[in-house]
Structure 1
Amino acid sequence: MVKGAAYLLLALLILGVMAYGWFSERAGGRVALDRRLEAISSPGTAPVRSINAVTVPERIAPLLAQAQVELTVQALQTIIGAGLVLALVLLLLTGPAVALVLLVGLPMAALSWLQARARKRVEALTDALPLYLDGVRQLQSIGNSLSQALERALADAPDSIKSYFGQTARKLAMGAPVAETMQQLADRLQIPEVSMLAAAIRTNLRYGGSISTVFGNLANILRERVRIRRELNAATSEAKVSSRVLIGMPLLCMVMLVAMNRAYIDFFISDPRGRTMSLVAVVLEVLGIVVIRRMMRLAF
């Protein structure tokens, strides 16, 4: 029964991957056609380049932007192809259960890596953002416009700021509206600090006032947020270590039992009851990891 269910889930996963690839290709073709028609209907616009990006769900797109990972069609096809080949090899050598664990575990591992990369880069951005705002204020105080100050302050900004704001600065240099350009960056990244900056610029340009004062207050608010985040990380560090220990203990115990008695693992491979228990243990371990990660996810 377990073997049949594993085969069924494996087939459904393969069909789902094929269907997603087909729908993504059709969506990309429609977007390319719409842009070509828009270019034809608007003479004088720049020619449309070939679209090579992958259409991703709305919940994944901000995460990719925060992690600064560009997922192309070729890269996605290579990853999926390698995963399916490896799953097929495991299916032939060890059975459907291991292949199913691989197909489920690899996306989860990739998502975990993507979240860790995004969190690290966003923290570097938020740490450097107050210093960047101070540079913008100084440039404005000597006569630069807002768009010029936002662009020229990148010269002395850390690399974390340049990597996120570089494309926006190029748009501003070509004459793009400041409020709309910053709002597009905020919508793409969905980082609270960047959204606060975009909202401050949009509000000031609409209702007037001293933008230098707004940037000064915003820089102080962002510094306070950084301080609170560091205190929160320090206060929850013990709980994070405990969660890692709880997650790693079952895996470590399994490795130690196998090292002490290699015949112990035969029951979980050859016997149907052992395979059922192994599958249940893996599912419970994954659910435990998900629950602990959700409990430790703190936002302010």
Structure 2
Amino acid sequence: MTLTLALFAALSAVFIGLVLALLVLADRQRRRHVARLMRLRPDKPEAAVATKRKARPTYGQAGIIRFIERQLVQTNLRVNVVELLVQVSLGILALYSILVLLAGMTPLLAIALAVIVPLGAAALFIRVAKTRYRAAFTEQLPEALDVFARGLRAGRPISDSLGIVVDTSKGPVQREFSRCRDEMCMGTTLPDTLAGLEARIPTAEISFFSVATSLQAETGGNLIETMEALANQLRERRKLRKKARALSSEARASAAILAALPFAVGLSVAFLNGAYLAPLYTDPRGQIMSGIAVSSIALGMFMMTRMGKLDV
């Protein structure tokens, strides 16, 4: 019990230190934002020069923060890095307390699980959010390109055509194209703006849109026909993707049924005769067998999911 209390106190101290470090990082992030605003002011040349000198690539903790920022930018989550790290820290502390004080787990194993589970859950949540955000953007992109082409056909410049897309769209398309329009209004060149869009949404559709628009704008080609052809191509690709998803629905349903079948049978047996399955989680040999079985099921689910997923 003394060891448990000591580990709990040590983890609490680490949590407090992490919170203080996050507050320091939040202050640094605020200072960086202020420095960026100062660089845009022409009446502060000294501040701009000093900021440029400080703006050097850093590694370690700052690199991790920037990596998390890049991941959050690719989602529609209304949370910053500091809030995310605080929530993960609270989850680690809460899970450790539950495992040690309520479940009676050993402190070393509880620390490992308390760190792995919240971090894994946060990474999985961000990945799912990124996938859904990209899918929603790609779904709305053909219609946005049609509106963009109509604006160009009416004689509007690229920035005004982007403004028309922003006014007539919603969701991820409105957010991303609004950011592109604002960047161009602030003086960013079209290739740099589209490169930033491609970095936030790294899909094949955006890559083609970025390259085609940049080349046509620089060489003076027919950008209207290019946008219309791209919109038609994206529609055909969307139809093909839906058709492939319909054809692979049987494989995905089979994977779900086969994955749920062992757990359904296990729950039924546990409900009818709970002592029959007790050796699987009370005996060390049963625990090893249970771990191997769950790992095999997870591997089978992964393989069947990959086999039923067609990249179109």
Per the TM alignment, residue 200 of structure 1 is displaced from its structure 2 partner at its CA by 0.9
CA distance, structure 1, for counterparts of residue 293 and residue 111 of structure 2: 16
- 2:159 paired residue among 131, 147, 164: 147
- 1:86 paired residue among 95, 110, 131: 95
Paired residues for 1:239-254 under 5 Å: 239-254=251-266
After superposing the two structures, state which structure 1 stretch, 285-294 or 272-281, moved more: 285-294
Per the TM alignment, residue 100 of structure 1 is displaced from its structure 2 partner at its CA by 5.2
Matched, 1:263 2:271: no
Structure 1 pair 103–274 and aligned structure 2 pair: CA distance change class (3 A): farther
- Give TM-score scaled by structure 2 length: 0.73
Aligned to 1:195: 207
- 2:219 paired residue among 190, 207, 210: 207
Matched, 1:73 2:82: yes
- Give TM-score scaled by structure 1 length: 0.75
The residue matched to 1:67 in structure 2 has which SS? coil
- 1:222 paired residue among 220, 234, 237: 234
Per the TM alignment, residue 171 of structure 1 is displaced from its structure 2 partner at its CA by 1.8
Report how many aligned residue pairs link the two structures.
277
Q: Is the 8 A contact 2:145 2:228 kept in 1?
A: yes
- 1:166 paired residue among 149, 163, 178: 178
Aligned to 2:301: 289
Unmatched 5+ stretches in structure 2: 1-10, 52-61
Per the TM alignment, residue 30 of structure 1 is displaced from its structure 2 partner at its CA by 8.5
Q: Is the 8 A contact 1:179 1:205 kept in 2?
A: no
After superposing the two structures, state which structure 1 stretch, 92-101 or 27-36, moved more: 27-36
CA distance, structure 1, for counterparts of residue 307 and residue 114 of structure 2: 26
Q: Is the 8 A contact 1:147 1:178 kept in 2?
A: no
* Superimposed CA distance per residue, residues 147-183 of structure 1 (whole angstroms, 9 cap, x where no aligned partner): 1101222211232311332222222233432221111
Task: Tell me the percent identity.
Answer: 24
Structure 1 pair 215–146 and aligned structure 2 pair: CA distance change class (3 A): same
- 2:141 paired residue among 129, 134, 139: 129
Per the TM alignment, residue 219 of structure 1 is displaced from its structure 2 partner at its CA by 0.9
CA distance, structure 1, for counterparts of residue 303 and residue 123 of structure 2: 16
Matched, 1:186 2:172: no
Structure 1 pair 110–290 and aligned structure 2 pair: CA distance change class (3 A): farther
CA distance, structure 1, for counterparts of residue 81 and residue 248 of structure 2: 37
Q: Is the 8 A contact 2:152 2:161 kept in 1?
A: yes
Q: CA RMSD in A?
A: 3.7
CA distance, structure 2, for counterparts of residue 167 and residue 224 of structure 1: 28
* Superimposed CA distance per residue, residues 95-152 of structure 1 (whole angstroms, 9 cap, x where no aligned partner): 2568756654554454444444333332222222111111111112222101110122
Aligned to 1:3: none
- The AA in structure 1 aligned to 2:88 is I
- The AA in structure 2 aligned to 1:121 is Y
CA distance, structure 1, for counterparts of residue 272 and residue 66 of structure 2: 46
Unmatched 5+ stretches in structure 1: 1-13
The residue matched to 2:163 in structure 1 has which SS? helix
Q: Is the 8 A contact 1:137 1:212 kept in 2?
A: yes
Q: Is the 8 A contact 2:212 2:226 kept in 1?
A: yes
Structure 1 pair 110–237 and aligned structure 2 pair: CA distance change class (3 A): farther
- The AA in structure 2 aligned to 1:86 is L
